[in-house]
Amino acid sequence: MISMAEISRTAVRALRRNKTRSMLTALGIIIGVAAVIAAFAVGQGANKSIDEQIASFGSNFIMVFPDRSASSASGTVKYLTYDDALAIEREVSGIEAVAPMINTSAQLVYGNTNWSTSVTGSTPSYSLVQDREVDYGRNINASDVRQGAKIAVIGKTIADKMFFGEDPVGKSIRIKKVPFTIIGVLKAKGQNTMGQDQDDLVLVPLTAAQRRLVRWNTPGRISTIYIKGVSMNALQYIQNETEALMRERHKIRAGEPDDFSVRNISQMLEARRKTTAIMSMLLGSIAVISLVVGGIGIMNIMLVSVTERTREIGIRMAVGAKSRDIRFQFLIEAVVLSMVGGTTGIILGVFAGHALASLTSAPPIFSAGSIILAFVFSVLVGVGFGYYPAWKASLLDPIDALKYE
Amino acid sequence: MALVELRDIRKSFSMGKEEVEILHGISISVEKSEFVAMMGPSGSGKSTTMNILGCLDKPTSGTYILNGQNINDLEGDDLAVIRNRTIGFVFQGFNLLQKTSAIENVELPLLYAGMPKKERRERAKEALIQMGLEDRLYHEPTQLSGGQQQRVAIARGIVNRAPILMADEPTGNLDSKTSDEIMKLFKKINEEDGTTILLVTHEPDVAAYAKRIVHFKDGMITSDEINREVKVS
């Protein structure tokens, strides 16, 4: 009785004799497995990044911003105002804090150092909503906002890039050529999961931004309103109430579209998670299809190989190979092809995953489960598609096989 | 008891709708250590008889007893075992595995007999040395001359120490000088190892090495006699 190890050795030797063809045959599996591995890893990476975003934003968090597409349709442009923010805070229950915000980008000058960054004008609620505390100095307070004081709190990055270790507190900095006095530096938060530096920002009182930095014509105009609910459960209620209140304040009649939009962060992230899931399912099914196509490639080549090697099969049978021995030899050839393809595919998939992920900025996650699954699947493809040619080979008649030219 | 015994063997093939009988009752018995040449023109049925004797083909009717065993009852894999243990083959076209070294070719029957690798190597080497190929062990068929290839094939035929060696036109692809060398090897194997040799040929010069010559014509045996003048060299 010939051992499996011997048959395997014979199979590997046969594959070695036809290296180019073997590699080309395995290519289908290589691409399939690489695609499976990469798709899973990128999908899981994206999911994890979304989870982290939920965790870092705090999920009980609602944003209100103007919807320009709606306002342009009605002809008049409606902005959010500071009064809108106050009304929400006053009339909607379940709210912990409301932060009206003006967002603009500006050039900073200190001495002969220039820095371009984003400037946010807001109220003391900002630090509650966004969870930002000062590292040293002090934060913006209510009286700063009332007075429109020309003071600023800066992020760690700006402290590093413009002050080079000098203590920035008390220094005067020019924002859009207007001098502001720095009163504090925020605690570092690092990069968010999108790769943005969260410490590259300047906070000023809302009123100072209104008067000195944006100079909008509409009185009390602001960019966005951030609302923090008391709990996750309150969010839907807050969202509905805010929408109703805003429609009333902006005098939108029934049937007319909103000129603002209220977004629940966790809803947005959930939507993105769904998109990601659909994407990875799509990639996954393409990968499965290519694995199956790879399997058909193996079957095709194995059938050609059986025909080509008919005489070899005849010789083996004449000297005593049983049909089982022939069947196993060709089956193992197919399995070895798909296993080599699977292993190469896994390695390639890891590279492909990293390359793909560098486009989405979410690092890929390679789980042992997906790697084992891809490998097992490729072996199954080998067995599945290798069986028919192997079975055909084992049915050959030794005399016909020996006569085959 | 005879080593090989065919009794009234008939073989027919279907050609379209018709059944064509090409062996019309072949009976022959061969004792251990005989050297039998089966002669006849092409289409005489000698090769078909050889295939049946070699357990590569099954007769349509008749009885075949090999080494005391009735072959009629056996199927595919059992026949493979018989071929492996009892019969060695040498073919006209050498039938060596391409891109495979001489020694690996010779090992093949031992591989399917399930012999461990080390022992296999040793036995294969021995057989190749016996065929005078000690300096060609690792050459592939394309690197060998026709005569050398046939000697590798003979080594493969005897490596399993099977009691019977069957050769179907073993000199058909060789020139007369090489043919003589090959036939001397057969003679030597027959005389020194006591291996029974069944040889199919249509060349009288080749058949002359056998101790017994059987003539075939139109699917029947026409004569079966002892060769009084066995060729010596």
The CA distance from A128 to A60, in Å, is: 12
Tens of pLDDT, residue by residue over A23-32, are 888 888 898 8
Structure tokens at B67: 């080494």
Q: Which residue has the tokens 């001495």?
A: A111
Tokens of A111: 């001495």
Q: Which of A398, A19, A252, A346 is nearest to B80 (CA)?
A: A398
For residue A195, what pLDDT is reported? 66
pLDDT at position A55 is: 66
Contact A3 B114 (CB under 8 A): yes
What chain A residue is nearest to B156 in terms of C-alpha separation? A319
Q: Are the Cβ atoms of A316 and B112 closer than 8 angstroms?
A: yes
Strand order in the sheet with B61-66: B18-30, B4-15, B61-66, B69-70
Residues of A in contact with B85 (CB under 8 A): 320
| ipTM greater than cut 0.85 | yes
In DSSP notation, A327-377 reads HHHHHHHHHHHHHHHHHHHHHHHHHHHHHHHHHHSSPP---HHHHHHHHHH
Residue A343 tokens read as 């292993």
**Predicted confidence band of residue B233 (pLDDT cuts 50, 70, 90):** low
The minimum CA-CA distance between B80 and chain A, rounded to whole Å, is 5
Instruction: Report the distance separating Cα B50 and Cα A221, nearest Å.
Output: 105
| Reported confidence tier of residue A58, pLDDT bands at 50, 70, 90 | low
CA-nearest residue of chain A to B104?
Answer: A10
Tokens of A400: 């016909």
Per-position DSSP letters for A102-159, written without gaps between them? EEEEEEEEETTEEEEEEEEEE-THHHHHHT--EEEE----HHHHHHT--EEEE-HHHH
Task: Verify whether the Cβ–Cβ distance B112 to A402 is below 8 Å.
Answer: no
What is the token pair recorded at A53?
């975003």
From the candidates B101, B108, B165, B166, which should be mutated to test the interface with A, based on the most A CB atoms within 10 A? B108
Predicted local confidence at residue A59, as pLDDT = 61
pLDDT in the model for residue A38: 86
Q: Is A316 on the interface with B (CB under 8 A)?
A: yes
Chain mean position to CA A104: 27
Q: Collapsing DSSP states into helix, strand and coil, what is residue B209?
A: coil
Query: B229 CA to chain A: closest CA distance, Å?
Result: 33
Residue A72: predicted pLDDT: 46
Which chain B positions have a beta carbon within 8 Å of A312's beta carbon?
97-98
Alpha-carbon span A218 to A353, nearest angstrom: 49
Strand A113-122, strand A201-205: pairing: parallel
Which of A7, A309, A319 to mutate: most B Cβ within 10 Å?
A: A319
Dist CA B86 CA A123 (whole Å): 100
Residue A66's alpha-carbon distances to A208, A219, A231, in angstroms, are: 21, 16, 25
Q: How far is CA A255 from the centre of its chain?
A: 37
Q: State whether A319 and B91 contact (CB < 8 Å).
A: no
* Per-residue model confidence (pLDDT) at position B142: 92
Output B54 or A258, whichever has higher pLDDT: B54
CA separation for the pair A321, A330 (Å, rounded): 13
Dmax (CA) of chain B? 54
Q: Which pairing describes strands A134-137 and A61-66: parallel, antiparallel, or unpaired? A: unpaired
Q: What is the CA radius of gyration of chain B?
A: 17
Contacting residues of B for A13, CB less than 8 Å apart: 100
Mean pLDDT to the nearest integer, A111-116: 88
Q: Check residue A150 and give its pLDDT.
A: 93
A66 pLDDT more than 50? yes
For residue A78, pLDDT over 80 is answered with: no
CA atoms of A283 and A285, how far apart (whole Å): 6
Contact A320 B109 (CB under 8 A): yes
Tell whether the model's pLDDT for residue B26 goes beyond 90.
Answer: yes
Q: Which two tokens stand for residue A365?
A: 């996650």
Mean pLDDT of the region A5-18: 83
Gap from A301 CA to chain B (nearest CA, Å)? 19
Q: How far is CA B31 from the centre of its chain?
A: 15
Residue A45 tokens, joined: 């990476």
Which of A124-128, A267-271, A352-356, B226-230 has the weakest average pLDDT?
A267-271
Cut 0.80: pTM above it: no
Question: A315 touching B, CB under 8 A?
Answer: yes
Do the Cβ atoms of A382 and A338 come closer than 8 Å?
A: yes
Tell me if B49 sits within 8 A of B30, measured CB to CB: no
* Chain B neighbors of A16, CB-CB under 8 A: none
Mean model confidence pLDDT for chain B? 91
Query: What span, in angstroms and rounded, lies between the C-alpha atoms of A308 and A311?
Result: 8
Contacts of residue B173 in chain A, CB cutoff 8 Å? none
Burial profile A257-267: b = 16 or more Cβ within 10 angstroms, e = fewer: ebbbbbebbbe
Residue A67: exposed, middle, or buried by beta-carbon count in 10 A (0-12, 13-18, 19+)? middle
> With an 8 Å Cβ cutoff, are A325 and B85 in contact?
no
Binary contact (B83, A315; C-beta < 8 A): no
Q: What is the largest CA-CA distance in chain A?
A: 105
| Chain B residues touching residue A329 (CB < 8 angstroms) | none
For residue A110, count other CB atoms closer than 10 A to its CB.
18
Q: How many Å apart are CA A391 and CA A313, to the nearest integer?
A: 12
Q: For residue A185, give the H/E element and its range.
A: strand A178-186
Which amino acid, one-letter code, is at A43?
G
∠A386-A402-B73 over CA atoms, to 5°?
85
Task: Say yes or no: A17 contacts chain B, CB-CB below 8 A.
Answer: yes
Residues A128-141 as b or e (16 or more Cβ within 10 Å = b) = ebbebebeebebbe
Give B65's strand partners. B5, B70
Question: Do the Cβ atoms of B95 and A311 come within 8 Å?
Answer: yes
Give chain A's count of helices (H) and strands (E). 14, 12
CB contact under 8 A, B89 and A319: yes
Rounded CA Rg of chain A = 33
Supply B206's token pair: 């080749």
Is A28 in a helix, a strand, or coil? helix
Average pLDDT over residues B155-161: 93
Helices A265-308 and A310-318 sit at what angle, rounded to 10 degrees? 70
Q: What is the pLDDT of residue A194?
A: 62
Across residues B211-230, what is the average pLDDT? 91
**Distance of alpha carbon A312 from alpha carbon B119, whole angstroms:** 24
From A17, A315, A399, residue closest to B99, measured CB to CB: A17
The amino acid that residue A259 corresponds to is D
Encoding tokens for residue A215? 């100079």
Q: What is the mean pLDDT of residues B167-193?
A: 91
Q: What are the angstrom distances between the C-alpha of B5 and each of B16, B29, B65?
A: 32, 4, 5
Rounded to a whole number of angstroms, the distance from the CA of A340 to the nearest CA of chain B is: 22
Residue A402: list chain B partners with CB under 8 A. Answer: 56, 91, 95
Annotate B51-72 with b (16+ C-beta within 10 A) or e (fewer). bbbbbbbebeebebbbbeeebe
Average pLDDT over residues B181-186: 92
Average pLDDT over residues B26-37: 93
Mean pLDDT for the stretch of residues A87-98: 90
Cα separation, A295 vs A291, in Å, equals 6
CB pairs under 8 A between A and B: 63
- A1 touching chain B per CB within 8 A: yes
Residue in chain B closest to A3 (alpha carbons) equals B114
Q: Does A402 touch chain B (CB under 8 A)?
A: yes
Query: Do A287 and A94 form a contact (C-beta atoms < 8 A)?
Result: no
| Domain extents in chain A | 4-53+271-403, 79-249
Nearest CB neighbour to B76, from listed A1, A319, A323? A323
Point out the least confidently predicted range of A261-265, A316-320, B12-16, B197-201: A261-265
Inter-chain residue contact A311 with B114, CB threshold 8 Å = no
| Chain A: residue whose CA lies nearest to B115 | A2
B68-125 per-position pLDDT tens digit: 889 988 888 899 999 999 999 998 888 999 888 999 999 999 999 989 989 999 999 9
CA A187 distance to own-chain centroid: 26
CA distances, A213 to each of A117, A141, A208, A279, B1 (Å): 13, 19, 7, 42, 118
Question: Dihedrals φ, ψ of B108, to 5°?
Answer: -50, -50
Percent of chain A surpassing pLDDT 70: 94
pLDDT at A258: 81
* Helix/strand/coil for B18: strand
CA A359 to chain centre: 9
CA distance, residue B97 to nearest chain A CA (Å): 6
